[in-house]
Structure 1
Amino acid sequence: MNFSEGIDRMQSSKVSLEKQFNYRPLRGHCVYFIGIGGVGMSAVARILINEGCIVAGSDVRTSSLTSTLEEMGAKINTKQDGSLMPAETDMVVVSASISEDNPDLKTARKLGIKVVKYSQILGSLMKEKRGIAISGTHGKTTTSAMISTILKTAGLDPTFVIGGEVPDIGGNAHLGKGNLFVAEACEYDRSFLNLTPQVGVITNIEEDHLDYYENIEKIINAFGDFASSISKNGLLVINNRDDNTAIAVKRAHCKVETYSLDISSDWCGEVISGGSGINRFKVFHKGKFFDNFLLKIPGAHNVLNALAATAVCTFIGVDRDSIRTALASFTGANRRFQIIGVKNDITVIDDYAHHPTEIRVTLKAARELYPAKRIWCVFQPHQYSRTRHLLKGFTKSFQNADKVILADIYAARDNDYEKTAMHSVKLYEEIRNTGVDVQYIPQLCDIVHVLSSRVKRDDVVVTMGAGDVWKVSYDLVSIL
């Protein structure tokens, strides 16, 4: 069943897209995305293009994602000043980062065009299939990518929307012919509560997005709402070693399965070897041997992601041979410990880590993979508010790096108060006080020049952050 047929079917149902949005995005209609360059927004835009919708949009930054959309026929502008919205626009989709004073959004409001959130349209798409939603503070993208890879390997042709590019399966989105819909479920703005999954995953729950939630109790409560949204005949898969998740899962009405490296979990992983960059591990299900697995991506955290993916796909009905084969060929998502290049025996890696826990586990994986090499970490903090709220956590995250270079904070959704209340210099001072060899270099272009003159043979450079710090890794490789 294609999307247009699905919408026709939903006309007669109690919960229809028309009732939710007063709009039916049928073939030929125009949908305008404000913030179309976002990973999730671009993914939904790709799906609608493939369904025959006319897609246009705006974003202040161009990227490979916007270039791909333009190649598919989307009309994209970087002005975002309200002047280039097509006259035939039927619906406007906004990302969670778009504020009410955005000129494009103000134009849409003035013209009376229906405006919906990205998460709402994602939820409406999921209703037409068997939804699988992957949530959690960390590991969502990799776990979503693993599940999508397994389902594709098994021949189930899922639709998926992932918060990162996954080259092995065609990018960050795909409109499949099968009845499964895999979506990375973001908790910011309680967006994941717009989804109606039959299967859910909670990888972990930590303090994040405190500019919205204020405290961990409110975050746990939102995840509790997510847990309660899983259909009663479905499955919720959770990390058994996360105390906050244990609180949230009490709200679930469905079957729950746990995973960890502890034999007390329903799904247990026993790591055999992992220092060479290849994780070999045994999997046990309810105490019984399930199979031997291999992952080509480093870190014990990725073994946990694989356990969650295995639990989900087994519930769906995928055989263990397909799971094992898919995981063995899985090379990861872009910006997740992605090796950008090796030049003159200098290895350059890029990673999306922007939370203290993510930084710590990524550098731990780098140290395990390169135990005798000098590791440089180039970190670009993401959001003034996140840096302020999690300052103490950030200061303790760089112990596995030999040298740290700190860039200026990348602003996203930050108000004027946040921009004056925090500065990278403050983070630099806190990190230096822990004994870490850290240097503050505000501009990315200057960081590239410093690195190019100081890195030596056998060094490893890891760029980290959710902003545009990835440019450093590519520029450095081109210079070396």
Structure 2
Amino acid sequence: MSRLNEIKNIYFIGIGGIGMSALARYFHAKGTRVSGYDRTRTPLTRELENSGIAIHYEENPELAPRDADVIVYTPAIPAQHAELVYYKENGYTVVKRSDILQWITEGSFNICVGGTHGKTTVTTMIAHILRHSGYGCNAFLGGISANYNTNFWSHERNVVVVEADEYDRSFLKLVPDIAVITAMDPDHLDIYGTPEEVENAFIQFSHKVKPGGALVVKSGLGREADLNNNNRITYSYDHAGADVRAVDVMVRNGSYHFNVKAADWEIGDVQLHMGGLHNIENVIAAITVARQLGITDDAIRSAVDAFKGVRRRFEYALNNGQHTLIDDYAHHPEELRALISGVKSIFSDRKMTLVFQPHLFSRTKDLADEFAASLDMADEVILLPIYPARELPVEGVTSSLVLNKMKLEHKHVFTKEQMLQYVTDKKPALVVMAGAGDIDAWIQPVKETLERSGG
């Protein structure tokens, strides 16, 4: 912790990223001078600017501070970025976001949530239960909590709840007291090479749990036997062999009512006002962690009842009885499968139009068959062009690669403008928009189109 206290001036390259902005808020709250660069101004960067953090949007070393003690960058920043190159060539302390998280968590009790999908929601649920119950924690989230409209908060209790990102093996720098693993599906194969290497990294993560700690892991994961077996607790929505699971699940007015059952305890009448059966499973993981911390059943039940979700995780942008528009961050085949299943569990009587923006050429190429199979579960699919993020185009890899593998009859590849025109013409009753790129910028235009169309 001592090196953190020595930082008086910190600069973030890519400050508008969800993880980077949480760290910027952390240092700003400590009284450290914080500034940063990002490529474009967004609602998130505006919030940072409004709090007093200086941000510029031109890649220019002349605009970057010369007196920064530490430079933090995200792996999404290209190695040839002019400011990053300047700082490295001139002897500055330049570290990744994961290094800063490692420094922050060196002297704290850490609850670290990893998984190729589900981790943002579970992290936010855990942090919310700890905050709502009065237990208290410092939270570093990979999404915006709808309850508090932020991805970071602090507390005097020296407990940290943090999303453990597997990209670039960043999560292996963390040392959990309690670790959660939600999934180990193939992803980031541009980094790992093979699905087995992804699994190996999660196995390594599980063995970083401190002595006397706990590992909370989704039941039925492949290679479960290789995971740390010291105080390992499995959870599931409905897997009979899990240590903790849901029973007596019912849907009432779009909310889930269920009991959470373990071998030696049970919490009855849990109410979750967040769509998607997978989110019942996510909240079971969060409840299991809360039980490990000794939080009472009543406090857990009250916190779950008050949970409003995470921005862009099964978020209702519109639900007026005539039209429903759901916004979700799903960008992996398993996330799409869970999203579509969850929507169908609530809106079984409506035809679903799914608008999906693939994220990364490498992920689309590696998982094209899996994407096609998941998307086939919808009634109608509109594929937008691939969002490249940090990558350059790959020959032969476009959204049509996925489209041509799909068996669904009603499928299209549209530009965003064509998609909006299609929604305007067809006025679908149920639209689900999914992806991790910039598709969220089109939520408002689609919402306004549906609202104008009336019935």
Give the structure-1-normalised TM-score: 0.90
User: 2:440 corresponds to which residue?
Assistant: 470
Once the two structures are TM-superposed, the CA of residue 224 in structure 1 deviates from its matched residue by 1.1
Once the two structures are TM-superposed, the CA of residue 115 in structure 1 deviates from its matched residue by 0.5
Once the two structures are TM-superposed, the CA of residue 266 in structure 1 deviates from its matched residue by 1.7
One of 266, 269, 280 as aligned partner of 1:289: 266
**Contact 2:75-2:168 within 8 A present in 1 as well:** yes
* Closer, same or farther: CA 413–247 of 1 in aligned 2, 3 Å: farther
Once the two structures are TM-superposed, the CA of residue 87 in structure 1 deviates from its matched residue by 1.9
**Aligned 1:266-285 pairs, distance under 5 A:** 266-274=243-251, 276-285=253-262
User: Is residue 105 of structure 2 the alignment partner of residue 144 of structure 1?
Assistant: no
User: 1:364 corresponds to which residue?
Assistant: 341
The one-character-per-residue Cα deviations of 1:15-44 (angstroms, maximum 9, x if unpaired) are xx4xxxxxx4547x2111111111000001
User: Is residue 60 of structure 2 the alignment partner of residue 81 of structure 1?
Assistant: yes
- Rounded to whole Å, the distance in 1 between the matches of 2:248 and 2:255 is 11
The one-character-per-residue Cα deviations of 1:29-60 (angstroms, maximum 9, x if unpaired) are 21111111110000011010000111111111
User: 2:107 corresponds to which residue?
Assistant: 128
Once the two structures are TM-superposed, the CA of residue 300 in structure 1 deviates from its matched residue by 2.1
Question: What secondary structure is seen at the aligned counterpart in 1 of 2:403?
Answer: helix
Between 290-299 and 172-181, the greater mean CA deviation after superposition: 290-299
User: 2:88 corresponds to which residue?
Assistant: 109
Which runs of 5 or more structure 1 residues have no equivalent in the other structure?
Answer: 1-5, 8-16, 18-23
User: 1:65 corresponds to which residue?
Assistant: 44
Once the two structures are TM-superposed, the CA of residue 327 in structure 1 deviates from its matched residue by 0.7
Question: What secondary structure is seen at the aligned counterpart in 1 of 2:63?
Answer: coil
Question: What secondary structure is seen at the aligned counterpart in 1 of 2:160?
Answer: strand
Once the two structures are TM-superposed, the CA of residue 247 in structure 1 deviates from its matched residue by 4.2
User: 1:331 corresponds to which residue?
Assistant: 308
User: 2:293 corresponds to which residue?
Assistant: 316
User: Is residue 404 of structure 2 the alignment partner of residue 429 of structure 1?
Assistant: yes
**CA root-mean-square deviation:** 1.7
- Rounded to whole Å, the distance in 1 between the matches of 2:225 and 2:75 is 26
Between 288-297 and 466-475, the greater mean CA deviation after superposition: 288-297
* Closer, same or farther: CA 448–157 of 1 in aligned 2, 3 Å: same
Question: What secondary structure is seen at the aligned counterpart in 2 of 1:293?
Answer: strand
User: 1:255 corresponds to which residue?
Assistant: 231
The one-character-per-residue Cα deviations of 1:163-222 (angstroms, maximum 9, x if unpaired) are 100021341111222121000111011000111111100011100001100111111111
**Contact 1:26-1:53 within 8 A present in 2 as well:** no
**Contact 1:31-1:90 within 8 A present in 2 as well:** yes
Give the structure-2-normalised TM-score: 0.95
- Rounded to whole Å, the distance in 2 between the matches of 1:299 and 1:221 is 29
| Paired residue type of 2:422 | V
One of 395, 398, 421 as aligned partner of 1:449: 421
- Rounded to whole Å, the distance in 1 between the matches of 2:316 and 2:119 is 20
| Paired residue type of 1:449 | Q
**Contact 2:123-2:162 within 8 A present in 1 as well:** yes
**Contact 2:16-2:45 within 8 A present in 1 as well:** yes
Question: What secondary structure is seen at the aligned counterpart in 1 of 2:404?
Answer: helix
One of 329, 353, 356 as aligned partner of 1:379: 356
- Rounded to whole Å, the distance in 2 between the matches of 1:391 and 1:81 is 38
* Closer, same or farther: CA 41–265 of 1 in aligned 2, 3 Å: same
Question: What secondary structure is seen at the aligned counterpart in 2 of 1:284?
Answer: strand
* Closer, same or farther: CA 429–264 of 1 in aligned 2, 3 Å: closer
**Aligned 1:402-441 pairs, distance under 5 A:** 402-416=379-393, 419-431=394-406, 434-441=407-414
Count residues in correspondence. 449
- Rounded to whole Å, the distance in 1 between the matches of 2:70 and 2:370 is 41
> Which of structure 1's runs of 4+ aligned residues deviate more than 6 A?
none
**Aligned 1:84-233 pairs, distance under 5 A:** 84-233=63-212
Question: What secondary structure is seen at the aligned counterpart in 2 of 1:420?
Answer: coil
* Closer, same or farther: CA 372–270 of 1 in aligned 2, 3 Å: same
| Paired residue type of 1:289 | E
Once the two structures are TM-superposed, the CA of residue 65 in structure 1 deviates from its matched residue by 1.4
**Contact 1:405-1:438 within 8 A present in 2 as well:** yes
**Contact 2:277-2:345 within 8 A present in 1 as well:** no
| Paired residue type of 2:414 | I
Which runs of 5 or more structure 2 residues have no equivalent in the other structure?
Answer: none
- Rounded to whole Å, the distance in 2 between the matches of 1:389 and 1:300 is 27
- Rounded to whole Å, the distance in 2 between the matches of 1:163 and 1:42 is 10
**Contact 2:133-2:299 within 8 A present in 1 as well:** yes
- Rounded to whole Å, the distance in 2 between the matches of 1:183 and 1:309 is 13
The one-character-per-residue Cα deviations of 1:92-129 (angstroms, maximum 9, x if unpaired) are 10112223211110011122111011011012111232
| Paired residue type of 1:274 | V
Once the two structures are TM-superposed, the CA of residue 81 in structure 1 deviates from its matched residue by 3.1
Once the two structures are TM-superposed, the CA of residue 275 in structure 1 deviates from its matched residue by 6.9
Question: What secondary structure is seen at the aligned counterpart in 2 of 1:169?
Answer: coil
Aligned sequence identity (%): 32
The one-character-per-residue Cα deviations of 1:327-350 (angstroms, maximum 9, x if unpaired) are 111121000011112468211111
- Rounded to whole Å, the distance in 2 between the matches of 1:473 and 1:208 is 26
